[in-house]
Structure 1
Amino acid sequence: MRRRVLLLVAATTTLVLVAFLAPLALLVRNVAVDRAVQGATVEAQALTSLVATTDRQTLELAVDQVNATSDYEVTVFLDGIQLGFPAERSPLVALAEGGTSESAEVPGGREIVFAVDRPSAPAVIRSFVPDAELSAGVPRAWLLLGGLGVGLLLVSLVVADRLARTFVRSTVDLAAVSHRLGRGELEARADLSAPGELGVVAAALNGLASRIAEALREERETIADLSHRVRTPLTTLRMEAESLPEPDAERIVAGVEAVNRAVTEVIQQARRRAGAEQAVTDAAAVVRARVEFWSVLAEDTDRELTVHIQPGPLPVALGSADLEACVDALLGNVFAHTPHGTAFAVRLAAVPGGVELVVADAGPGLPAGPVLERGVSGSGSSGLGLDIVRRAAERTGGSVRLGPGPGGGLAVVVTFLAAP
Structure 2
Amino acid sequence: MRRRILVLVGATVLLVLVAFAVPLAVLVRTVAVDTALSTATTQAQSLTPLVATADRATMEPTVALADDRNAGDVSVVLADGTVLGAPAPRSDLVELGLRGVSASTEAPGGREMVFSVQGATAGNSVIRVFVPDAELTRGVARSWLLLAGLSLALLAGGLLIADRLARSLVDATTDLSGVSEQLAGGDLAARADPDAPAELGVVARALNGLAGRISELLREERENVADLAHRVRTPLTALRLDAEALRDPDESARISSGVDGVQRAVTGAIEQARRRGGEGRAADAAAVVRERVAFWQVLAEDTDRAVTLDLADGPLPVGCAPGDLQACVDALLGNVFAHTPDGTAFGVELSRRTAGGARLVVHDAGPGLPPGADPTSRGVSGGGSTGLGLDIARRTADATGGRLILSGPPGAGLQVVLELAGPQR
Contact 1:234 1:260 in 2 (8 A): no
Alignment match of 2:142 (pick from 117, 140, 150)? 140
> Who wins on radius of gyration, i.e. which is larger?
2
What residue is the counterpart of 1:330 in the other structure? none
Shift of 1:167: 3.2
What residue is the counterpart of 1:219 in the other structure? 221
1:279-358 mapped onto 2 (5 Å cutoff): none
Name the aligned partner's letter for residue 269 of structure 2.
V
What residue is the counterpart of 1:157 in the other structure? 159
Shift of 1:216: 1.1
| Aligned-partner SS, 2:87 | coil
CA distance, structure 2, for counterparts of residue 150 and residue 162 of structure 1: 18
Contact 1:116 1:123 in 2 (8 A): yes
What residue is the counterpart of 1:129 in the other structure? 131
Counting aligned pairs with the same residue, the percent is 55
Matched, 1:267 2:270: yes
Task: Number of aligned residue pairs: give it.
Answer: 278
RMSD: 3.3
CA distance, structure 1, for counterparts of residue 258 and residue 244 of structure 2: 10
Contact 1:111 1:128 in 2 (8 A): yes
1:53-102 deviation line (CA, Å, top 9, x unaligned): 22223323322222222211122222123222223222222222221111
Contact 1:66 1:74 in 2 (8 A): yes
| Aligned-partner SS, 2:24 | helix
Alignment match of 1:203 (pick from 202, 205, 208)? 205
| Aligned-partner SS, 2:122 | coil
| Structure 2 unpaired stretches of 5+ | 283-425
Shift of 1:262: 4.4
CA distance, structure 2, for counterparts of residue 244 and residue 97 of structure 1: 150
Name the aligned partner's letter for residue 162 of structure 2.
A
1:96-126 deviation line (CA, Å, top 9, x unaligned): 2221111122221111110111233211111
CA distance, structure 1, for counterparts of residue 280 and residue 88 of structure 2: 96
1:120-149 deviation line (CA, Å, top 9, x unaligned): 321111111111000001111111112222
CA distance, structure 1, for counterparts of residue 267 and residue 202 of structure 2: 42
CA distance, structure 1, for counterparts of residue 238 and residue 271 of structure 2: 19
Shift of 1:164: 3.5
Q: 1:240 to 1:71 in 2, by over 3 A?
A: same
Name the aligned partner's letter for residue 74 of structure 2.
V
| Aligned-partner SS, 2:111 | strand
Shift of 1:235: 7.8
CA distance, structure 1, for counterparts of residue 31 and residue 201 of structure 2: 54
Name the aligned partner's letter for residue 195 of structure 2.
S
What residue is the counterpart of 1:39 in the other structure? 39
CA distance, structure 2, for counterparts of residue 234 and residue 27 of structure 1: 100
What residue is the counterpart of 1:86 in the other structure? 87
Contact 2:194 2:205 in 1 (8 A): yes
Contact 1:242 1:250 in 2 (8 A): no
| Aligned-partner SS, 2:189 | coil
What is the TM-score when the length of structure 2 is the normalising length?
0.57
CA distance, structure 1, for counterparts of residue 239 and residue 258 of structure 2: 13
Contact 1:183 1:274 in 2 (8 A): no
CA distance, structure 1, for counterparts of residue 97 and residue 279 of structure 2: 100
CA distance, structure 2, for counterparts of residue 169 and residue 261 of structure 1: 47
CA distance, structure 2, for counterparts of residue 239 and residue 123 of structure 1: 143
Name the aligned partner's letter for residue 223 of structure 2.
E
| Aligned-partner SS, 2:131 | strand
Name the aligned partner's letter for residue 98 of structure 2.
E
What residue is the counterpart of 1:174 in the other structure? 176
Q: 1:124 to 1:252 in 2, by over 3 A?
A: same
Shift of 1:227: 4.0
What residue is the counterpart of 1:58 in the other structure? 58
CA distance, structure 2, for counterparts of residue 242 and residue 17 of structure 1: 97
| Aligned-partner SS, 1:40 | helix
| Aligned-partner SS, 2:155 | helix
| Aligned-partner SS, 2:19 | helix
| Aligned-partner SS, 2:209 | helix
1:248-267 mapped onto 2 (5 Å cutoff): 257=260, 260-267=263-270
CA distance, structure 2, for counterparts of residue 40 and residue 212 of structure 1: 86
Which has the larger displacement, 120-129 or 170-179?
Answer: 170-179
Q: 1:80 to 1:233 in 2, by over 3 A?
A: same
Name the aligned partner's letter for residue 34 of structure 1.
D
What residue is the counterpart of 2:14 in the other structure? 14
Shift of 1:274: 5.5
Contact 2:239 2:259 in 1 (8 A): no
Name the aligned partner's letter for residue 5 of structure 1.
I
What residue is the counterpart of 1:415 in the other structure? none
What is the TM-score when the length of structure 1 is the normalising length?
0.57
CA distance, structure 1, for counterparts of residue 72 and residue 248 of structure 2: 133
CA distance, structure 2, for counterparts of residue 238 and residue 2 of structure 1: 70
Contact 1:6 1:157 in 2 (8 A): yes
Which has the larger displacement, 239-248 or 76-85?
Answer: 239-248
CA distance, structure 2, for counterparts of residue 211 and residue 69 of structure 1: 89
| Aligned-partner SS, 2:194 | coil
CA distance, structure 2, for counterparts of residue 197 and residue 238 of structure 1: 63
Name the aligned partner's letter for residue 95 of structure 2.
A
